[in-house]
A and B are shown apart, each in its own frame.
Chain A
Amino acid sequence: MNFLSQVWQFLTTGSHWTGPDGFLAQIKSQLELSAVAVVAAVVAGVGLGALLGHTGRGSFLVLNSANAARAIPSFALVTLIAIQPFIVRLQQGGFVAAAITMFALAVPPILTNAYVGVRDVDPAVRSAAVAMGMTSGQLLRQVELPLALPIVMAGVRTAAVEVVATATLAAYVGVADLGFNIFAGLDTRNNAETFSGALMVAVLALLVDLLLASLARAVTPAGTRVSTRDVRQRGTGLMWRHAGARG
């Protein structure tokens, strides 16, 4: 039996999909972990990024720290958090350790794009808003954030795809997600199992990307709808372009 038919057999075996360790449960677990991390990163990243873009203060320090943090490998981070004895124990804390790691991975693109999106609002538009008597908060909520939304959404998309792909690592610290089959297959030299797990991760990441792409379209106000090319041209070197899955 050749390799591809082994993979096909593994994927079409019903018992591999159902049950506590089946693919369905793994997908659910992977999506839960990713959702927690991305939602938390959106709250923190958009909040902080928009504030920096709005005031123009402290951005250098914060953005560079966030980007420097990306140099830490996720695998090292998740292991470190999982084995350290202070906050959470490995037995009950695998999910928490993985969520913190994924959060750290998701924040930089979201933070950077929120900052760039708000900062790059046309100064004439901002000036008109201030001159008509908007308060600082009204300017941010009613003008800057809505106009930054397409760029913010591009950052969220990048972050979500990275997180969904990288959340595979959580299996190493005891979260039974799609990484489970990858690590199990490596341990038992079952390449078909490893490959099946990896394939599932790739497909899931692509589906999440497609979902967020349509969400981004739906929430973009009609008057500001631009092509991807325009977003790229308007963006700066700082901006995180949506480049597909990593990790």
Chain B
Amino acid sequence: MISFEAVSKRYGNGSYAVENFTLDVAEGELCVLVGPSGGGKTTILRMVNRMVEPTSGQVLVDGRDVAKVDRVELRRRTGYVIQQAGLFPHLKVADNVASVPHLLGWDRDRVRSRVSEMLELVGLDPGEFADRYPNELSGGQAQRVGVARALAGDPPVLLMDEPFGAVDPIARGRLQQEFLGLQERLHKTVMFVTHDVDEAVVMGNRIAVLSQGGRLQQYDTPAEVLGHPATSFVADFIGADRGLRRLAVTPIEVGDVYVPPAVRPKASIAEAAAAVAAAGDHWAAVVSDNGRLLGWVQPAEVEDRLLDGDGATVDRYMRPSGSRVALGSSLKAAFAEMLQQDAAWLPVFDGDRYLGVLTPDTLHAALRRSIGGEPVPV
């Protein structure tokens, strides 16, 4: 969808902002450009809508050389989101969002319904926000309006230049997740600039790591960049804690799940003890007849305070099941939940179906799996 072919941008003094840059972004993909400042990320981004003209090389969007497309037309078909949103302070939220539809000459009714649709899309109630001015919005709300404005003309390509850089970390995390949710529905081709490795890892289908002078060091999936840095520059840039970062991009798979011994709620403690002993474990999961997880029981702990002797059933002594994690969510989420609950076992669900548990051991194995079982290169 977007192709850079040997693109360079050279300054008057002979130094390069971007040097011989080649990259393809597939349709519907979110490509993150990440690197230190001075890495030419913004320059590269701005070549797509001709805010910057390359000194040599070509930029193609949808197979067409942008240099041969009228600038104004090109920009109206390309969404652009910047840090601090750049909203027009003299226009209400609705008029800000309506900017591109107006430029495209849409009729009044179509613009109005599009504005409401866009505000709802980014999670702002049109009734509450349409008539506000930008100085009446929080940083996160302003950023949402910025995204709504960029999407209003329904552009196939979206350029985002550190869009969440100016909001506090909590709002940033929420905006990131919300935007990923949007992207899942809209399938825009997105180029996203950031200097934050964590943001790159969370947002990108693929990450392009750039060094000074716009040199492309690696272009790959987040897991691959973290697991196998292509150059020492990439390894340095993503940092010594890349192992931790990999937790965020490695999903829980069925193979990571340990299936502990299971007993029915009406089983006796003695039966549970036998099942646990047979599995060489200490705990058993209490599972109903239709496969629902009810709780946990540790027969050794309850045996000496049994009330009804050998007739005691498991359901009277089990601990209820609390936290859970969904199959496919990140190892980071699982790890955080485990620490939060101080639990050694974390049940994994596929929708409503109980699959088994994650343990510290299986978590470690999953992490090793994510890098192909090889030790992390240093």
Chain A residues engaging chain B, CB cutoff 8 angstroms? 122, 124-125, 127-135, 138, 143, 146-147, 221-224
- A130 to B80, alpha carbons, bound, how many Å? 10
Determine whether the beta carbon of A135 is less than 8 Å from that of B72. yes
Identity of the chain B residue whose Cβ is nearest the Cβ of A136 in the assembled complex:
B72
Given contacts A131-B82, A133-B76, 5 further A-B contacts (CB under 8 A): A125-B87, A127-B86, A132-B75, A132-B149, A223-B135
Q: Are B80 and A125 in contact (CB under 8 A)?
A: no
Residues facing A in B133-177 (CB within 8 A) are: 133-135, 149-150, 153, 159
- Cα(A127)–Cα(B134), bound, Å: 17
Is A131 within 8 A of B51, CB to CB?
yes
A127: B residues at CB distance < 8 A: 51, 82, 86
Cβ of B236 under 8 Å from chain A: no
Residues of B within 8 A of A135 (CB): 72
A53 and B15 CA atoms in complex are apart in Å by: 30
Contact B103 A223 (CB under 8 A): no
A-B contact pairs, 14 of them (CB 8 A): A124-B82, A124-B83, A125-B86, A127-B51, A127-B82, A131-B49, A131-B159, A133-B103, A134-B103, A138-B103, A221-B89, A223-B89, A223-B91, A224-B90
> How distant is the Cα of A222 from the Cα of B91 in the complex, in angstroms?
9
A132 and B82 form a contact (CB under 8 A): no
How close is A117's CB to chain B, nearest CB, in angstroms? 12
Q: Which of chain B's residues 84-143 have a Cβ closer than 8 Å to chain A? A: 84-92, 99-100, 103, 133-135
B75 contacts A131, C-beta separation under 8 Å: yes
Q: Are B92 and A124 in contact (CB under 8 A)?
A: no
A132 near B89 with CB under 8 A, answer: no
Question: Which listed residue, B75, B76, B89, B100, touches A125 by the CB 8 Å rule?
Answer: B89
Q: How large is the interface on B (under 10, 10 to 19, 20 to 34, 35 or more residues)?
A: 20 to 34
- Bound-complex Cα distance A221 to B133 (A): 10
Q: Which of B72, B77, B78 has the most chain A CB within a 10 Å cutoff?
A: B72
A222 and B84 contact, CB distance less than 8 A: no
Any chain A CB within 8 A of the CB of B27? no
> In the complex, which residues of chain A have a beta carbon less than 8 angstroms from the beta carbon of B84?
124
Chain A residues positioned under 8 Å from B83 (CB to CB) = 124
Chain B residues positioned under 8 Å from A143 (CB to CB) = 88, 90
Residues in A neighbouring B51, C-beta threshold 8 A:
127, 130-131
Q: Is the CB of A132 within 8 A of B90?
A: no
With the chains together, A127 CA to B51 CA distance in Å?
Answer: 9
> A133-B76, A223-B135 known; A146 and B100 CB under 8 Å?
no
Report the bound CA distance from A147 to B85 in whole Å.
17
State the total of A-B contacts with C-beta under 8 angstroms: 70
CB distance from B6 to the nearest CB of A (A): 25
CA A131 – CA B46 in complex, angstroms?
Answer: 9
Residue in B92, B100, B133 whose beta carbon sits within 8 Å of that of A132 in the complex: B100
State whether A128 touches B91 (Cβ < 8 A).
Answer: no
Q: How far is the CA of A143 from the CA of B149 in the complex (A)?
A: 15
Q: Which residue, B88, B91, B135, B153, has most C-beta atoms of chain A within 10 A?
A: B88
Contact A223 B82 (CB under 8 A): no
Q: Is B310 an interface residue (CB 8 A)?
A: no
What 3 pairs between A and B have smallest CB-CB spacing?
A: A223-B133, A128-B86, A133-B76
User: Which residues of chain B come closer than 8 Å to A130, judged between CB atoms?
Assistant: 51, 75
- In the bound assembly, the distance between CA atoms of A197 and B92 in angstroms comes to 48
Pairwise interchain contact B89-A147, C-beta atoms closer than 8 A: yes
Structural contact, B72 and A125, CB atoms closer than 8 A: no
> A132–B103 contact, CB under 8 A?
yes
**How far is it, in angstroms, between the C-alpha of A146 and the C-alpha of B49 when the chains are bound?**
26
- Assuming the contacts A131-B49, A131-B51, A133-B103, asked whether A223 and B80 have C-beta atoms less than 8 A apart, the reply is no
User: Quick one: given A133-B73, A223-B133, are A122 and B86 in contact (CB under 8 Å)?
Assistant: yes
Chain A residues in 8 Å Cβ range of B100: 132-133
A128 touches B82 (CB 8 A): yes
Rounded to whole Å, the gap between the CB of B77 and the closest CB of chain A is 8
Residues on B with beta carbons closer than 8 Å to the beta carbon of A223: 89-92, 133-135
> Are the C-beta atoms of A132 and B87 separated by less than 8 Å?
no
Q: Closest chain B residue to A143 by CB distance?
A: B88
In the complex, which residues of chain A have a beta carbon less than 8 angstroms from the beta carbon of B135?
223
CB–CB A132/B99 < 8 A: yes
**Within 8 Å CB of B88, what residues of A?**
125, 128-129, 143, 147
Q: How far is the CB of B88 from chain A (nearest CB, A)?
A: 6
Query: What 0/1 readout, one digit per residue, does chain B (46-77) give for beta carbons within 8 Å of chain A?
Result: 00010100000000000000000001111111
Contacts of A221 in B (CB 8 A): 89-91
Task: Give the chain A neighbours of B133 by CB distance below 8 A.
Answer: 222-223
Q: Tell me which residues across on chain B come within 8 A of A131, comparing CB atoms.
A: 49, 51, 75, 78, 80, 82, 159
Per the bound structure, the CA–CA distance linking A133 and B74 in Å amounts to 7
Residues from chain B with a CB closer than 8 A to the CB of A125 are 86-89
A224 interface neighbour in B74, B76, B77, B89, Cβ under 8 Å = B89
Of chain A, the residue at the smallest CB distance from B71 is A133
Q: Which residues of A contact B89 (CB under 8 A)?
A: 122, 125, 147, 221, 223-224
Residues of the B chain whose Cβ atoms lie less than 8 Å from the Cβ of A122: 86, 89
Closest to A145 in B: B90
